[in-house]
Chains A and B, each alone.
Chain A
Amino acid sequence: MKLAGLKSVDGAHEESIWAAAWVPAADHRPAALLLTGALDETVRLWAPDDLASAAASPSRGHALGVVSLAAHPAGAVAAAVSLDSYVRVFDVDSGSSVATLEAPPSEVWGIQFHPKGSALAAAGGGSGSVKLWDTEKWKPITSLAVPRPEGARPDKTGSGKFVLSVAWSPDGKLLACGSMDGTIAVYDAVRMKFLHHLEGHHMPVRSMVFSPVDPHVLFTASDDCHIHIYDAKEKSLIGAMSGHASWVLSIDVSPDGMAVATGSSDRTVRLWDINTRASVQTMSNHNDQVWAVAFRPPGGTGVRAGRLASVSDDKSITLYDYS
């Protein structure tokens, strides 16, 4: 497995780029598109492989900066979370607003659509819970609280329970979330019930993703510079990978399930071999923190090779060939 640099766009945004997500190919659009969100309060759309701007003008109004992006599996709509704690759902092609969601009284952070697109899950920030909306009428479904782990130290300020990240398993049966204090909670997404915690991290879990080929395997990225591999169903830690010099901010698994890509505060993107648990490649073309890495989803006309996108505080987007 290998990464090769294809294209970089410097100054893709006017400020730090914090979020990236691929919009899958759709019936009316044969190729996947890349969404990026930034501190400049805009969301922009790009067409691979030359990363040309795919929209007439950027989508504005994401006040205080975009912290998370997610695209609906059908490829028609996408959602953006900004620091003003609104979730703005918009039509990808026209940019028009579909809905504006919020989860008072708390913030919203990481978001992800259910693999079938029927629901949108959001990390509920200071509320210490996960929020769910249905995607038909954009009504709240429920709020899943994160129980305090047994033996956890008393948290006077409550800052530890701030929920940052959220992930669905590819079969839609499990839902996991990560918190500032390293707590990871796993839920039965069918019965909407807490199952158990996953232990091992003691620092913020900023990103997580389930393996596309093994619905039980969860990969987590943390400020402790480690990537952990859990069996989310059996509640066991089955692997750990280290090598980043600073926080691991983002993580994604390749569509073939063989590799994991991570972006870090140490300005690098790393590719890891899941079998050997070793870092096989380190890309150093970013000059600041790498806030998002994303593999292009399978599908689309004429797509033969994999693509990985990374975005950075240095305002640049880089596209790699993954093979």
Chain B
Amino acid sequence: MASVYIPVQGTEEEVRVALDQLPADASDILDILKAEQAPLHLWLIIAREYFKQGKIEQFRQILEEGSGPEIDEYYADVKYERIAILNALGAFHTFLGKVERAQQKEVHFKEATQCYNRASRIDETEPSTWIGRGQLCVVKHDLQMASDSFKIVLDEDGSNFPALLGQASVYFLMGDSEQQHKKALDYYRNSLDLYKRALRAYTSCPAAVRLGIAFCRYKLGQSDKARQAFQRVLQLDPENIDALVALAIMDLQTNEAGGIRRGMEKMRRAFEIYPYCTLALNHLANHYFFTGQHFVVEQLTETALSSSNHGLLKSHAFYNLARSYHSKGDIETAGRYYMASVNEISKPQDFVLPFFGLGQIQLKFADYKSSLASFEKVLEVHPENCESLKAIGHIYAKSGENDKAIETFKKVTRIDPKDHQAFMELGELLVQSDWATAMEYLKTARNLLKKAGEKIPIELLNGIGLLHFEKGELEMAEQSFKEALGDGFWVSIIDGSVGSSVVNWSIQYRDQSFFQQLEEEGTPLELPWDKVTTLFNYARLFEELHDTVKASLFYRLIIFKYPDYIDTYLRLAAIAKEKNNLQLSIELIGDALKIDDKYPNALSMLGSLELQGDETWLTAKEHFREAKDASEGKDTYSMLQLGNWNYFAANRPEKKAPKFEATHREKAKELYSNVLKQHHGNMFAANGIGILYAEKAQWDIAKELFTQVHEAASGSIFVQMPDVWINLAHIYFAQGFFQQAVKMYQNCLRKFFYNTDATILLYLARTHYEAEQWQDCRKTLLRAIHLAPSNYLLRFNVGVSMQKFSASTLQKTKRTVDEVRATVSELQNAIRVFSLLSVASTYHSHGFDERKIETHIEYCKHLLDAAKVHRDAAEQAEQQNKQKMEVARQIALADEARRKAEEQRKAQLERRKQEDELKQVMQQEQHFERVKEQWKTSSNTPGKRKDRSKHEDEEGGGEKRRKKGGRRRKDQKTKAHYGEEEEDEYRDEPEAEDDYANTARSNDGGDSEKAPGHLLAAAGLEDSDAEEDDMGHPQSAIERKRRAWSESEDDEPVQRPVQPSAGENDLSD
């Protein structure tokens, strides 16, 4: 065994100190060293031995004593050993500074600097001191100073091995820090050169030098040479962990199963050799993470964390720990370790993964702001990372920033058109605003999954089903829900094959024991958690299809398997309420409140039911308030309900007090207004405010509000709001617009109530009543009675309307018998209705004043007596009217007979006229023939005669024409002139003879003395024609008569033309 021998001063004896038996207390050995003034190199030997044995404190103690002031005094002439001690101490502090944390780190670096400074003062040119300084600068990342230090040594001795290694290391680190790739490669090449020079300077150097060469080649991309170099290192030093880890990483990077397996094997060997190798620890931890061995991961990473001060390596270690806890579901611990991981790095580019993990954790804790920041860090490094974009989109959606969310998810679909998740998210976001697009996106997601041969997630089918459902496409919705649910007990419920005993049991009993019995009988009732929502939606669909038997069974199956699913109790309560089973409804709501006694929906629902009861309406307010408090004022529905309660209270009949009413109305208005402030589009609040204005008879404001609500509700397929229709109708009624009111009531009845609501029929009847449309009023009330036969108010009203009808008819000044008969019949009906009411009042407390009914009966009887009198009178009047009508009929018949006789006479006259006309035509033709004969005779005479004959022919034609025209005019006159016409005809014949005679004389005479006479005669005839033509000119006529008269004095033949004038006189007559 090794020993050192300390010479004893003044003697030749030596003290032997066995190095493996150094005393635990360094003071003992120091005493000996000092007392004997042992050579300083012995101090160093002992100090190193303590260090090797891991006794760091003793090591430090000896070195510090060895460099103390006393040493300077007693060993002043010893230089090298003193420098060596100081350098060793400096190196020690450099090491401590490297591994310690911030504050301690600085202290150690300062100590190291002081040691090196003291060494320099002893001998400024000592190379080992500069090398020590250089290494300190390397650790402090002051690479330029380090380089300067190493160069000082190399300038003196280019083969100084430690300096060569130091400078090579500096170049390598500079390469790592260099941003530009080319410059970095230059540094790596310089580093490689220096490592090679070091190898040549000291060929039997440790394998670590080849390690440097290997890393340089790796950085320069010379993978094969790098691998060879690493393997060379391992040949020389089989336990070199750095080489093992490097080769392992290169194996892992092949991404082959074999390579990965070999890589992990090397990592494991590295771990076995040196359990504190951080890089190996991190890689092993990563490996065991994926094999699910979390305990091992924890151990490995915690060891890595305690073994390294390297930020990036620690970041990786923290990341592995965080992942392990994350996958185990320990979210809080995972979050802390992710945070620690990101705190170890200066920028996301160094290591981005923990930001992603941290973002996920923060998202889970609903810390949206922090989560958003984390994911945005990931995007700084990877701008098109779809996972981060989707997470950010999700955050925007949760924060209510839907537009940003939609934009973000759209970006994802542009980057990766096959990302079905993004399409699903888009579909869900657009459900409210753009149904068609939402459906398109969801279907795209479904198609992408089908193409990929992947199972379509139940959430997607559920989403599509919901969209169809809200659109009212119930069959399509059902298909989607069925597909989503697949097989299960519910199938037998859907197709009705479930035993009738199950249905019967579920109807008779409120508990779910029949399901338990089914299970005991061997029927499996599995309901996976991820199908519950869809089953609930399917049940909701059955409600809409009015198949509440199946809906109830579904809800109860859910309760049986998941008793805390609170909404199922509320749906069952709603079904019970619709069936007027209020007791069951209240019990079910009670069950829901046992699960969560502050559930706003349950409290609101309970309040609504209580509002309907005379004994419970007061407690409704408490439950509405509790619902409002439970939702911290965010639930507008409960606020609405409180408003409704106040309005309801203001109208309670038993507390009619103006001040009381006003207070409640004011409160109601305040509540409605608050709701509208939070949600401008809340129709129910607007409707409530409209009601309050209407109560104060502010019709125009109320009407405006109701109209807006009515239009908004009409445009929405999700909101069913008959109230606003009724309210508008009330306004029309109040303002006297009865027809509009009738229309609105009727449309509301048909649209929302299948015409079954007797209350609205009552409103309608009232409107007819005010419009004095008695018969419509009556029919409406009878329909209402048919629907609600136990409502005696309706019977009373129909009696009143019949009474009114009768009274109004009797007041008319003129009444038909039928009207009066109807009045009698109606009064008899009214009396019967009132009589029945009167007697029935002994059995029912329907609120009528019996005396009032008796009054109505007496009044109707009175009217009936009057009506009978009127009926008798009307019947007598009718008889008289009949007689008058008969007389008038006889007169009419006589007139008709006369009219026919007249027609016959006219027809006879017409026939006679036609015969006469025919005769005249024949006569004219005969006359014409005679004239022609004369003409032929004349043509044989000399020229002058021929001319005369021609003139005569013309005259004759004119004469005929005149006569003919005259006859036509005569025809238009009455038969009184018929005789005159005959006379004319008679007179014509002599004229013809006259004409004939004139012609004969003319032919007989050849005497020239008579020629002028003929000319005058001709002139006279022409004048006659002229007179006829100019009858409108009396003077001309008179003149022409004078000329005619003159002519007659001159000659006898001239007198004959006067006779045609007589014809003219006849015409005048």
Contacts and interface: CB of A to CB of B under 8 A. Distances in A.
Interface of A: 15-16, 18, 39, 63-65, 67, 83-85, 104-107, 109, 125-127, 153, 156-160, 162, 164, 180, 182, 200-203, 223-226, 236-247, 265-267, 276-278, 288-289, 313
Q: Which 7 A-B pairs have the closest CB atoms?
A: A162-B790, A159-B790, A105-B839, A202-B580, A224-B579, A265-B754, A246-B754
A126 B546 contact: no
B789 A158 contact: no
Contacts of A125: 789-790
B818 to A, nearest CB: 14
Contact of B845 (A85, A157, A240): A157
Contacts of A105: 836, 839-840, 842-843
Given A85-B832, A162-B790, A226-B548, 20 more contacts: A39-B783, A64-B829, A83-B782, A106-B840, A126-B843, A157-B790, A158-B845, A180-B789, A201-B579, A202-B579, A203-B579, A224-B578, A225-B579, A239-B500, A246-B753, A265-B754, A267-B754, A277-B500, A277-B503, A289-B754
B496 interface: yes
12 contacts: A63-B832, A84-B829, A106-B843, A109-B789, A126-B844, A158-B843, A226-B549, A236-B508, A239-B503, A240-B507, A242-B549, A246-B754
Contacts of B829: 63-64, 84
A159 B504 CA distance: 30
A247 B846 CA distance: 25
A3 B447 CA distance: 41
Contacts of B619: none
B580 A182 contact: yes
Interface residues on B, range: 35 or more
Contacts of A65: 782, 786
Contacts of A158: 790, 843-845
Interface in B843-893: 843-847
A157 B844 contact: yes
B789 A18 contact: no
A83 B845 contact: no
Contacts of B843: 105-106, 126-127, 158
Contacts of B756: 246-247, 265, 289
Contacts of A63: 825, 829, 832
Given A39-B782, A104-B839, A226-B579, A243 B754 contact: no
Contact of A244 (B546, B753, B779, B790): B546
A245 B785 CA distance: 22
A32 B785 CA distance: 31
A265 to B, nearest CB: 4
A201 to B, nearest CB: 8
A236 B505 CA distance: 10
Given A39-B779, A240-B503, A243-B547, A289 B755 contact: yes
A239 B547 contact: no
A30 to B, nearest CB: 35
B754 A240 contact: no
Contact of B581 (A202, A236, A242): A202
A159 B791 contact: yes
Contact of A238 (B496, B504, B833): B504
A39 B579 CA distance: 29
B789 A16 contact: no
Contact of B754 (A104, A201, A224, A266): A266
Contacts of B581: 202
Interface in B357-415: none
B754 A157 contact: no
B15 interface: no
A158 B840 CA distance: 11
B545 interface: yes
A104 B548 CA distance: 40
Q: Is the interface of A mostly helix, strand, loop or mixed?
A: loop
B783 A16 contact: yes
A1 to B, nearest CB: 15
Contacts of B779: 15, 39
A83 B785 contact: yes
Contact of B786 (A67, A84, A162, A243): A67
A161 to B, nearest CB: 8
Most A Cβ at <10 Å: residue of B503, B579, B798: B579
Nearest to B840: A105
Interface in B517-567: 545-550
Contacts of B833: 64, 84
A162 B546 CA distance: 27
Interface string B815-838: 000000000010001001100100
A159 B756 CA distance: 18
Contacts of B789: 107, 109, 125, 162, 164, 180
A237 B507 CA distance: 8
Interface string B782-811: 110110011110000010000000000000
Contacts of B496: 276-278
A289 B757 CA distance: 12
A223 B578 CA distance: 10
A241 B550 CA distance: 9
Contacts of A276: 496
A141 B503 CA distance: 40
Most B Cβ at <10 Å: residue of A64, A85, A153, A267: A64
A200 B580 contact: no
B845 A265 contact: no
A126 B841 CA distance: 10
A157 B846 contact: yes
Contacts of A246: 753-754, 756
Nearest to B847: A157
A223 B580 CA distance: 10
A67 B792 CA distance: 17
A276 B836 CA distance: 46
A137 B844 CA distance: 32
A242 B503 CA distance: 12
A84 B832 contact: yes
Contacts of A277: 496, 500, 503
A88 to B, nearest CB: 14
A180 B844 CA distance: 15
Contacts of A156: 845
Contacts of A182: 580
A203 B788 CA distance: 11
Nearest to B836: A85
A241 B549 contact: yes
A247 B785 contact: no
Nearest to A105: B839
Interface in B131-146: none
Interface in B565-595: 578-583
